[in-house]
Amino acid sequence: MKKIFSAALAWAFALLLGLSAASAAEKPKYVFLFIGDGMSIPQRMMSEEFNKLMTGKGLVINSFPYQVMTTTRSANSFITDSAASGTAIACGEKTNNGVIGMDVTQSKNLVSTAEVARDAGKKVGIITSVTINHATPAAFYGHNPSRGNGYALGLDLIKSNFDFFGGGGVDEHGDGDVDIYDLAAQAGYTVVHEPEELLALQPGCGKVLAVRKDGALPYAIDDPDGFRDADYLRKAIELLDGDAGFFIMTEGGKIDWMCHANDAGTTLREVIDLDKAVEVACEFAEKHPDETLIVVTGDHETGGLTLGFAGTGYNSYIERLQYQKCSQDVFSGILRDVADDYEGVKAAITEWFGLKFDGDDDDPMKLTDSEKEEIKKAYDRSGENHKEISRVTHTVVKIFDNKAGLGWTSGAHTALPVNTSAVGVGAETFKGMIDNTDISKKLKELVK
Ligand SMILES: [Zn+2]
């Protein structure tokens, strides 16, 4: 990992210094686009700081030579959703929140960078940690007035004829007359659901739909040794590499989910997980330095994450996030098992978040009397049979994040601009302050 990182960094700096043989007018044969859903500057910098404190190294994505502020508003709102921002990043046009790959009138299909790359003869891959017909990945192949029409977007996926799909399963794959997976197989896709089946495929095997049967990938914090975005990307590169070149979009889709839930510890591990996938692209770029472009962006900010907290003033304690050992979702499940006994709940909080109810008052992870009271109150309000034990989870995570010197202002998206990072052939076109639609406008020119 260390070796890969430093090699990637060296490659980035070499390009920055103009040491690459590629001229600015050249077009990349290989284009990688990465999207962190809900990943804006606070998410990136929190993860950067955590990584530096834990490993001495920042994120690969923050080492890229071109870093540009990127506005995200949709056609009908200052605060975008993932359908409108996905459409903007994929197709280069603004549309309304909720709309996938269509214009504001919802009467005209827009054309995505992936479709342009396909029509230019390039191989196309789409990878995501959430369901493959979720808003962001769907914006690259789908055309529908509503992001909620999962089955129709599944049909669009097949129609796209793209070469590789990997990651989370097709949502609503069985809601129509015929299962999407069966239809994909009939259309010539090799459909596999297990990583071992995917790994067994060889170049030349044709179109591949390699997604989990159902649902998104687990959170990285709960699945550190699992088959992740980076693994799907490594295999996609192996299958798609050839004379035609390729365009591969990889999404870290669950950054957004845990920002909605205001869970910093799980969020930053999702960002780092996406960064590991970017490392895979950098590894490839080292072998094809004059032919590769890597672009990383976010589709919007989620949660109003603040790298500071009223209670901790000028101090920040990001390293305390290391004590969190599971996602909110998993923790609520753990609490459910011990919910009848408050002592068991307290023990679980200490075990999984490092928050202590007793001990030395100087211990920063010791809960104050008012924090203990807050947690007990949430427990008392968890209802009959503690059905709403997730109230305790939310209270614990809020206190935990505040102890790390972090705050959240929203359970929804915000209008904070995101950062777009670029390295490689054509990266120099990412300059100044841009709009999310500019990403597609630039990439369409480069993948033609
Ligand atoms: Zn969201």
The domain made up of 2-305+411-447 has a fold known as: Alkaline Phosphatase, subunit A (3.40.720)
Residue 301 CA to ligand 1 center (angstroms) comes to: 8
Residue 300 CA to ligand 1 center (angstroms) comes to: 8
Tokens of 149: 């029409």
Residue 19 CA to ligand 1 center (angstroms) comes to: 40
Residue 167 CA to ligand 1 center (angstroms) comes to: 18
Residue 375 CA to ligand 1 center (angstroms) comes to: 27
pTM of the model: 0.94
Residue 49 CA to ligand 1 center (angstroms) comes to: 23
Please name which of 246, 228, 181, 171 lies closest in space to residue 208, comparing C-alpha atoms: 181
Give the contacts of 335 (CB within 8 A, at least 6 positions apart). Answer: 345, 348, 386, 389, 390, 392, 393
User: What is residue 14's predicted lDDT score, i.e. its pLDDT?
Assistant: 54
* Residues pairing with 208 in the sheet: 164, 190
Residue 114 CA to ligand 1 center (angstroms) comes to: 23
User: What is residue 175's predicted lDDT score, i.e. its pLDDT?
Assistant: 79
Residue 146 CA to ligand 1 center (angstroms) comes to: 15
Residue 345 CA to ligand 1 center (angstroms) comes to: 30
- Sheet containing 246-252: order of strands: 190-192, 208-211, 164-168, 123-131, 246-252, 30-36, 292-298, 418-424, 66-71, 434-435
Would you kindly state where each structural domain of the chain is located, as residue ranges? 2-305+411-447, 310-403
Model confidence over 134-170: pLDDT tens digits? 999 999 999 999 999 999 999 999 999 999 999 999 9
Amino acid letter for position 102: M
Residue 401 CA to ligand 1 center (angstroms) comes to: 20
Amino acid letter for position 154: G
The rounded radius of gyration (Å) of the Cα atoms in the chain is: 22
Residue 325 CA to ligand 1 center (angstroms) comes to: 23
Model confidence over 297-310: pLDDT tens digits? 999 999 999 999 99
User: What is residue 122's predicted lDDT score, i.e. its pLDDT?
Assistant: 98
Buried b (16+ CB within 10 A) or exposed e, 337-351: ebbeeeeebbebbbe
The label of the residue with tokens 């687990």 reads 218
Residue 243 CA to ligand 1 center (angstroms) comes to: 37
Please name which of 378, 377, 390 lies closest in space to residue 334, comparing C-alpha atoms: 390
Residue 286 CA to ligand 1 center (angstroms) comes to: 34
Residue 284 CA to ligand 1 center (angstroms) comes to: 31
Residue 434 CA to ligand 1 center (angstroms) comes to: 22
Residue 82 CA to ligand 1 center (angstroms) comes to: 6
Segments in the chain below pLDDT 70: 1-25
Residue 84 CA to ligand 1 center (angstroms) comes to: 11
User: What is residue 177's predicted lDDT score, i.e. its pLDDT?
Assistant: 80
Q: How far apart are CA 33 and CA 423, in angstroms?
A: 11
Model confidence over 388-423: pLDDT tens digits? 999 999 999 999 999 999 999 999 999 999 999 999
CA distance readout (Å), 221 to 215, 329, 331, 334, 424? 17, 11, 12, 15, 31
Amino acid letter for position 178: V
Residue 393 CA to ligand 1 center (angstroms) comes to: 20
Residue 42 CA to ligand 1 center (angstroms) comes to: 15
Residue 22 CA to ligand 1 center (angstroms) comes to: 38
Residue 100 CA to ligand 1 center (angstroms) comes to: 15
Residue 83 CA to ligand 1 center (angstroms) comes to: 10
Residue 424 CA to ligand 1 center (angstroms) comes to: 30
Q: How far apart are CA 255 and CA 195, in angstroms?
A: 22
Residue 122 CA to ligand 1 center (angstroms) comes to: 31
